[in-house]
Amino acid sequence: MRRIQMFMYTDIRVVPTMVVDRRSRNQAHGPSKLQITKNPKPKELPDLSTLKFGHTFTDHMLTIPWAVETGWGTPQIQPYGPLVLEPSSTVLHYAQTIFEGMKAYHDAEGRIRLFRPDMNMKRMNTSANRIALPTFDGVALLELIKELVRLDKHWIPKEPGHSLYIRPTLIGTQRAIGVSPPNEALLFVILSPVGPFYPNGFKPVALYGTTEFVRAAPGGTGAYKLGVNYAPGILPQKHAAKQGYAQNLWLHGPEHYLTEVGTMNLFVVFRKDGGSTFFSIPLEILMDSNFIYSGYELVTPPLDGMILPGVTRDSVLTLAREHASGAYTVPGLPEKLTITERPVTMKEVKKASESGTLVEMFGAGTAAVISPVDRIGYEGEDVLIPTGEDGMGPISRHIWTELIGRQTGTISSDWSVVI
C-alpha cells in the first residue's frame, strides 16, 4: 500500500491566506502553495437551453501533479485547456484512471452549496488504492475544489434543476508501458454546467434485462469508481438501444440478480400485504424486530463487491431509514416502510409485477438523482413497472423532493455544505 500523502494543504480552513497565496502564482515553492493563474480570455456563458451533459466546461481547471519521489506537487488553478501527455502514459494503455462526480448548486440566498462532498473524497481514495494510484488528503482536495468552484461560480446556473457538475479525475502518467504502479500521476478537476436530467418532467425509462454482458463480477472492480467500469458498458448500451430500451439492467448469475441500472444504483419498492413476496425475504430480515409486515419495502442490492457505493444510494437509504425509525420525517413518505439491502432476483420482480405487489423501481445517481423505470425487457417479454402520473412512484417522489431540497438548501441539513 502506498501511504496517504497530503498536499500539505490541511491548514487552509484555519489560515487560508497563508496557504492560498495568490501573489506567489509564478513561483513553485512546494506543495503547500496553491497557484492560481486566471484565464485571460474567459468564455461566454452558454445558452442554458442548449446545454448537453458534460459538453461545456468552465474557464478554469485544477491540476495537481504527483511523483513517487516527491509526492504531491503544487496545486494549480489555471485556464481550462488541453493536457500534454506522453504517448506512453499508463492511463492511455492500461486504463489507470479513477474519477468522481459531484455537483455545486446555487441556493435561494445566492450562496453555493455542495452535497456530501466528503463522501466523494473518501470514495476517490478507495478507488485510488484499488488501482494503485496515489491516495491523498481528501479534506485538502475538497478545499482546493472549493477554491476552483468559487473562482468559476458565475458558471453555476441559477435556474431550477441546474447545477455545476464537478469532475475530479486521477490518472497514471508514468512514461513507460510496464503494467505496474505508476511513478507519476496527475489529479485534475474540471467543471461543467449542467441542466436538469429530465427538463420536461420525469420520463420513466425502459430497461433491457442484460445477461449476455456483465458490468461487474465477484472479485472484480464494480464496487470502485474506476474508469474501467464505464467504457465496457457502451456496447451493451448500444445493444439495448437497438432493441428499444434506454439502459441496461445488469443481471447477475444464473439467478438473474438485479445489480445496477446503466451507471446508476437501483431501488425496487414492493407492497407488503402479507402476500407472496414474503417467501423471497431472507429469514434474518423477517426475524428482525424492526421488520414491518405491512406497508412498503424499499429494497436495494447489498454492497457485495459488485455494487458501487453511490452517494445518492446512501442518501436514499439514510433518509428512508430515518423516516422509518421516526428520527426524521420525510413529508409524504408512507409511515410503514421497511428498508432492506438484500439480493433481488428478476423472478421476484416479475412475480410482484404480475401479482400487483410491485410498487415502483428507480435508478439513483448523481447525474439524474432519481430515474424512474416503467418496464424491463426480460427473456423476450416486457415486465411492466407501475409509475405515477408524474412519472414517479409513491416512495421515490418524496425522497426526490427531500433530496433536491437538501441539495439546493431549501431544506436545511448537514449534508449540504455552503462554500
Q: Does 227 bind a second copy (CB under 8 A)?
A: yes
Q: Does 154 bind a second copy (CB under 8 A)?
A: no
Assign residue 276 a region: left if phi > 0, alpha if psi is -120 to 50, beta otherwise?
Answer: alpha
Q: Does 169 bind a second copy (CB under 8 A)?
A: yes
Question: Measured from the CB of residue 65, what is the shortest distance to a second copy in angstroms?
Answer: 14
Helical spans, DSSP H, in 88-153: 90-94, 117-130, 138-151
Q: Does 196 bind a second copy (CB under 8 A)?
A: no
CA distance 156 to 103: 10
- Among 228, 292, 411, 419, interactor with a second copy by CB under 8 A: 228
- Among 127, 135, 237, 371, interactor with a second copy by CB under 8 A: 237
What's at 40, amino acid-wise? Answer: P
Cell readout for 361 is 423501481
Give, as one character, the DSSP assignment of residue 345. Answer: B
Instruction: Using the rule CB under 8 A, give the single segment among 16-24, 223-231, 284-292, 353-361 that binds a second copy.
Output: 223-231
Question: Measured from the CB of residue 372, what is the shortest distance to a second copy in angstroms?
Answer: 20
Question: Measured from the CB of residue 189, what is the shortest distance to a second copy in angstroms?
Answer: 9
Q: Does 212 bind a second copy (CB under 8 A)?
A: yes
Question: Measured from the CB of residue 345, what is the shortest distance to a second copy in angstroms?
Answer: 17
- Among 8, 132, 285, 303, interactor with a second copy by CB under 8 A: 132
Q: Does 303 bind a second copy (CB under 8 A)?
A: no
Kindly give, in sequence order, each residue whose CB lies less than 8 Å from that of residue 122, ignoring residues fewer than 6 positions away.
138
Q: Does 220 bind a second copy (CB under 8 A)?
A: yes
CA distance 401 to 68: 46
What's at 188, amino acid-wise? Answer: F
Q: Does 61 bind a second copy (CB under 8 A)?
A: yes
Pairing verdict, β 205-210 and 247-252: parallel
Kindly give, in sequence order, each residue whose CB lies less than 8 Å from that of residue 321, ignoring residues fewer than 6 positions away.
339
Report phi then psi at 163, rounded to 5. -165, 180
List, in sequence order, every residue forming a beta bridge with 377; answer none if it has no partner: 208, 382
Instruction: Using the rule CB under 8 A, give the single segment among 24-32, 127-135, 156-164, 200-208 that binds a second copy.
Output: 127-135
Question: Measured from the CB of residue 91, what is the shortest distance to a second copy in angstroms?
Answer: 6
Cell readout for 157 is 446556473
CA distance 205 to 104: 26
205 vs 269 by CB, closer to a second copy: 205
> Which among 269, 252, 250 is positioned nearest to 260, based on CA atoms?
250
Q: Does 416 bind a second copy (CB under 8 A)?
A: no
List, in sequence order, every residue forming a beta bridge with 228; answer none if it has no partner: none
Instruction: Using the rule CB under 8 A, give the single segment among 152-160, 207-215, 374-382, 385-393 that binds a second copy.
Output: 207-215
79 to 98: interface string for a second copy, x by CB under 8 A: -xxxxxxxxx-xxxxxxxx-
Assign residue 172 a region: left if phi > 0, alpha if psi is -120 to 50, beta otherwise?
Answer: beta
CA distance 45 to 164: 13
- Among 20, 114, 121, 171, interactor with a second copy by CB under 8 A: 171
- Among 160, 219, 274, 380, interactor with a second copy by CB under 8 A: 219
Instruction: Using the rule CB under 8 A, give the single segment among 8-16, 115-123, 163-171, 310-318 that binds a second copy.
Output: 163-171
Q: Are the CB atoms for 353 and 325 separated by under 8 Å?
A: no
Q: Does 364 bind a second copy (CB under 8 A)?
A: no
Residue numbers of the site for a second copy (CB under 8 A)? 52-55, 57, 61, 80-88, 90-97, 99, 129-132, 167, 169, 171-172, 175-181, 188, 190, 192, 211-214, 217-221, 226-228, 230-235, 237-238, 263
